[in-house]
Structure 1
């Protein structure tokens, strides 16, 4: 019998035993045919590879991620992800959907990729309601039905609207959940369930949600898994305490590693492979770390054709030079080499082409200094303030007393930053103001259109001059990220397609993002992930106090919070 490829003498990962065995692996076409010994005596082959000393594991599977977080298109992302051993992803394209609706998702679906990219239907576009945030597009029942015609749409993306899910039976998100449960009753339904426990957690599950990918603690992992939720661990949840909880109760069957968001500059050095290394560093065995980044992910999404090295499954695999460090030598997709150590990322021969209107989508008035005057009467005001944390994307809601001078709120004298969100889609031109603590030091500003999830224009600064300059730079670029310091542009990353992605190589956008991060640090922005922290100040489903073009909101109650609580 003739096979196409035999990988000889490899230390092959057996997903069913969670161990390595020295075997030969025979491949016919795009599938594994035989895993055993002495293939030379029973099989003829077109090609043979001696993998002595190497380790062979299944291709990595990332079942919860957003391609737009890497600020690029599916075709460009494919090459970068494959270089890190990722052969399959399930992408929730709710960022492009928030900007362009169904047209944006369909543009992603049209792109041809070597990596298998499946999609979860964005269930939260907008993430809350039109009264809380303005988006360029929406995803409702008709859009859901249109997307369900695609074989690459396999799940419902993260349901986030807490109030709509648990207490509003006629809300759009409940209608979407009902539609999926009726038309695709066995489809995975992904959840966004931060800091939800007890009866509220039960209400989420009763509505049909079966997973959570938000920041976890040992207690939340125990409660959620023991109540039946599947847990998807993103980077900020992979630490020794959480891993110890998983190990103690042997929770591996109910856990997968997911990236959720990998920014362009981070993608240069790692993707899901980096999380496997991090899990091992946090005291998970390498065998279990591989298991929860391949096998459990495949089973969660109903993939019966991948996730293990087994006869009849897709020949997606990685050869490793070093197991503990997950040092990748070669990546195979469908039995064909797609990346080798030392090579640069592979890209499509031609740049992806999007509809013309995708390149002219940021439509705001240019700010002037007088637009930023916060008028008030009296001597001082008690104000509601967002306090940024140094770890994670949650904020705190605090109150600060601010002096009123010459009829204006003198926020700058209190060491605070002013944040402004401007509607950018030509749907009313709403503009809201907020105050932020632990934001910037000295004179400067940060602006972006990569503002989760609505992607309106957001700018924050300590001087009105820097705020105006940053906002106008964003408009000139048609979207992206900029940092100003004392009147000078110190960092920028253009994202001209919808204000959220670019068609340049990852090496180019990643280098620009690195400079933006450094520029943010230079103006005093401190967080373990500066880009994501700033971008989610506008995300009204991430605790505790966030801002949109419609104002400040308490995330849990969805109550509008006034900037000025009381005049004294």
Structure 2
């Protein structure tokens, strides 16, 4: 757990830092001969970085201090701060914090701001603590999950965290922000929470997906101060002109960097109000694309000045989130979190240093993950011993041969466009239609063992047979399953229960893909390489069933998210995101033209 006060120099450290800077004591480490990112100007400086213990003592001209206990030659390379991920859900990496550190630190990401809303829903306040705790060198600051469960009138949810606990945590030294909130919540409770965050001088993380004009204005007026959902230049400018920091997301759901940096002239006014986040990015994508290093490569490839691209990953988030007195800039008394980059465009550090110690070399960690898994983090999938035979049944009106249904169409990552579809009725039950890719989807309570199930229909997965099931429906981490037939859906859910949580793909009565995630049903207990390999195999198995989505498991986990337009699905039923109320799946009247889409305004 990273408490900000623990990172500033102690009185004894401060005495030595000053003595080293003054030339009266020998530095512990000097990074020599590199071009150093200036802390206060957009320049590359010919400087040596002089380090005392955990902290930077000073920056001197090359060769000014002749002696040090250790030296690292950075000649021909650049020296920059460690990268900051400004908004991350570690649960969606499918790794524990310690394994994420082994994967991401050698690639340059040394600090993450973490919203543990998934863990909060499974384990309560203990889960929030678990997600910001590691013995590895990765710095983890908390974005306090605001409501658990998110909407008690719409979901059973899992754990319950009292409002007073949330408000108290806003004052904790490990806290950077209030986590992302529901833009449609105007309750007295949420207003009090926003006021508490403002009083505690915490930023408030926004979730403004598809919001504009009055709905956006009303949300930002609560004190919401950043947004990671802006996916067009117009959205970026609308928000930054209202004072918001834009945290550009490159996740396993969608990568906003190409569409935002493609027109540099248009986005230029906002460039110094940008930082980066992975949000929801699984281990496979982190290992193949990278973490915050991926954002920088993308930005530079589209013509962003490298100095500015690196500032977006370091200084700009540090200053905005009020961390810059400790990290994010290379300056005296700051933590010696830095890296040596041989090629600015490639963004592949030769050395990653955290608190004055080398923790990554040439893409590999030089530390072990010694974090322990408490017993309470396991065995969290609580389903009935036998699922009801009719658990996925959608019963048609008596005598109907066809019905109209309200369905969701996936687009642009996790957005769902509402549309109407015609489906056949067989033996009184509504069936999926693989020809038009309208498949049954269900969310099942896995916290209380009730078998309460919400059912809908979705287009976009493309399965021609089989089913896919997960234990990570956002936000409450219930079971979500989509399939071409009820029998396959049932088999997939039963396999989830047997393996204690994770991801499953089934076809023709057999399990063809599985990613065990026993830690809360969200994270692997294995090394990150094994998790990434399992994801790759599971994705391939799902693609063989006709699925067109590159990362089907993580996309499935967001179909139920009821704060993203147009529709959401919980274990209690189908939800209209705009009204935050339940709506019927079966529509009245005769079946009409299949595939009619409702107009709910402009979509990204």
Fold match by TM threshold 0.5: yes
Q: Is the 8 A contact 1:33 1:311 kept in 2?
A: yes
2:539 corresponds in structure 1 to 517
Identify the match of residue 175 of structure 2 among 129, 134, 153: 153
Identify the match of residue 457 of structure 2 among 407, 426, 435: 435
Q: Does 1:16 align with 2:31?
A: no
Q: What are the superposed Cα offsets for residues 464-512 of structure 1, whole Å, 9 maximum, x if unpaired?
A: 2211111111000111001112222121111112111122111111111
1:316 corresponds in structure 2 to 337
Counterpart CA distance in 2 for 1:413 and 1:299 is 51
1:132 corresponds in structure 2 to 154
Counterpart CA distance in 2 for 1:530 and 1:137 is 27
Q: Is the 8 A contact 2:296 2:310 kept in 1?
A: yes
Matched ranges for 1:147-186 at <5 A: 147-148=169-170, 150-159=172-181, 161-164=182-185, 168-170=186-188, 172-182=189-199, 184=200, 186=201
* Structure 1 gap ranges (5+): none
Q: Does 1:84 align with 2:99?
A: no
Identify the match of residue 561 of structure 2 among 536, 539, 559: 539
Q: CA RMSD in A?
A: 2.0
Counterpart CA distance in 2 for 1:73 and 1:234 is 21
Q: Is the 8 A contact 1:491 1:519 kept in 2?
A: yes
For residue 46 of structure 1, report the CA deviation from its aligned partner: 0.8
TM-score (norm 1): 0.93
Partner secondary structure for residue 203 of structure 1: helix
Q: Go from structure 1 to structure 2 and tell me whether the alpha carbon gap of 1:431 and 1:248 turns closer, same or farther (over 3 Å shift).
A: closer
Partner secondary structure for residue 163 of structure 1: coil
Q: What are the superposed Cα offsets for residues 36-83 of structure 1, whole Å, 9 maximum, x if unpaired?
A: 22434x453111222211111111011211111111222222222211
1:219 corresponds in structure 2 to 234
For residue 419 of structure 1, report the CA deviation from its aligned partner: 0.9
Identify the match of residue 555 of structure 1 among 577, 586, 591: 577
Q: Go from structure 1 to structure 2 and tell me whether the alpha carbon gap of 1:403 and 1:109 turns closer, same or farther (over 3 Å shift).
A: closer
For residue 146 of structure 1, report the CA deviation from its aligned partner: 4.3
For residue 380 of structure 1, report the CA deviation from its aligned partner: 2.1
Q: Is the 8 A contact 1:392 1:529 kept in 2?
A: no
2:302 corresponds in structure 1 to 282
Q: Does 1:232 align with 2:247?
A: yes
Q: Is the 8 A contact 1:75 1:352 kept in 2?
A: no
Q: What are the superposed Cα offsets for residues 271-326 of structure 1, whole Å, 9 maximum, x if unpaired?
A: 11111111112221221110100000101110122212122221111111222111
1:498 corresponds in structure 2 to 520
For residue 343 of structure 1, report the CA deviation from its aligned partner: 2.9
Counterpart CA distance in 2 for 1:413 and 1:252 is 45
Q: Go from structure 1 to structure 2 and tell me whether the alpha carbon gap of 1:550 and 1:246 turns closer, same or farther (over 3 Å shift).
A: farther
* Structure 2 gap ranges (5+): 1-23, 591-604
Q: Does 1:426 align with 2:438?
A: no
Q: Is the 8 A contact 1:221 1:242 kept in 2?
A: no
Identify the match of residue 406 of structure 1 among 401, 422, 427: 427
TM-score (norm 2): 0.88
Q: Go from structure 1 to structure 2 and tell me whether the alpha carbon gap of 1:243 and 1:39 turns closer, same or farther (over 3 Å shift).
A: same
Matched ranges for 1:118-517 at <5 A: 118-127=141-150, 129-148=151-170, 150-159=172-181, 161-164=182-185, 168-170=186-188, 172-182=189-199, 184=200, 186-235=201-250, 236-242=255-261, 244=263, 248-269=267-288, 270-303=290-323, 304-341=325-362, 343=364, 346-349=367-370, 351-354=371-374, 356-365=375-384, 366-367=386-387, 369-376=389-396, 377=398, 378-389=400-411, 391-412=412-433, 415=436, 416-426=438-448, 428-517=450-539
Counterpart CA distance in 2 for 1:198 and 1:310 is 41
Counterpart CA distance in 1 for 2:52 and 2:173 is 25
Q: Is the 8 A contact 2:106 2:363 kept in 1?
A: no
Q: Go from structure 1 to structure 2 and tell me whether the alpha carbon gap of 1:406 and 1:431 turns closer, same or farther (over 3 Å shift).
A: same
Q: Which stretch shows the higher mean deviation, 511-520 or 292-301?
A: 511-520
Counterpart CA distance in 1 for 2:361 and 2:435 is 54
Runs of 4+ with deviation above 4 angstroms: 240-243, 245-248
For residue 434 of structure 1, report the CA deviation from its aligned partner: 0.9
Counterpart CA distance in 2 for 1:193 and 1:520 is 31
For residue 259 of structure 1, report the CA deviation from its aligned partner: 1.2
Counterpart CA distance in 1 for 2:140 and 2:363 is 25
Partner secondary structure for residue 187 of structure 2: coil
Q: Does 1:44 align with 2:70?
A: no
Q: What are the superposed Cα offsets for residues 103-145 of structure 1, whole Å, 9 maximum, x if unpaired?
A: 2112334533311111111113233x11212221133322224
Q: Go from structure 1 to structure 2 and tell me whether the alpha carbon gap of 1:255 and 1:149 turns closer, same or farther (over 3 Å shift).
A: closer
Counterpart CA distance in 1 for 2:120 and 2:275 is 26
Q: Is the 8 A contact 2:434 2:462 kept in 1?
A: no
Q: Which stretch shows the higher mean deviation, 15-24 or 250-259?
A: 15-24
